[in-house]
Amino acid sequence: MTLDEKYMKIALDEAKKAQAIGEVPIGAVMVKDDEIIARAHNLRETIQLPTAHAEHIVIEKAAEAVGSWRLEGCTLYVTLEPCVMCSGAIVMSRIPRVVYGATDPKGGCSGSLMDLLQEDRFNHRAEVVSGVLEAECGQILKDFFKQLRDKKKAAKQQRTEE
């Protein structure tokens, strides 16, 4: 197992925590000097805050841990490709390396829809490694959304029968 796989497994553990509370199962881990300095998972529904993505939360925790908004020397591991908001936060916090699992063709801004992390017009760019434990990271999301659709379908069916 590579180091990237090791830390992505821990990010997947965070995603499972999100899933357990009904959140979209996305997890993130921040590593510096081969040590985890912060962990997080989605909390957007729980705290009703649009910025409560796993990446955003882990960036805030990591900044607190290192005592600086500059997260130089850190690697962010996240189970899903970062969105536009999270990609912007990554650029603004100077994270030099981002590793993600599943791509997000509908909202990913780290290579899919656009690539904000390597945009030449910004003063900071991040190395991006994609597809680490991609199958596992994608499957937890597929399972979550299938369960959500099944619940909605069952509720609709029940209303129709009443």
- 60 contacts 84 by C-beta, under 8 angstroms: no
β-sheet bridge partners, residue 100: 78
The DSSP bridge partners found for residue 29 are: 39, 77
Structure tokens at 115: 């690539």
The one-letter code for the residue type at 48 is Q
Task: For residue 55, indicate whether it is catalytic.
Answer: yes
Q: What is the DSSP string of 67-83?
A: TSS--TTEEEEEEE---
- Out of 5, 55, 64, 134, which one is annotated catalytic? 55
**What does the alpha-carbon distance between residue 9 and residue 116 come to, in Å, rounded to a whole number?**
25
Which residues form the catalytic set? Answer: 55
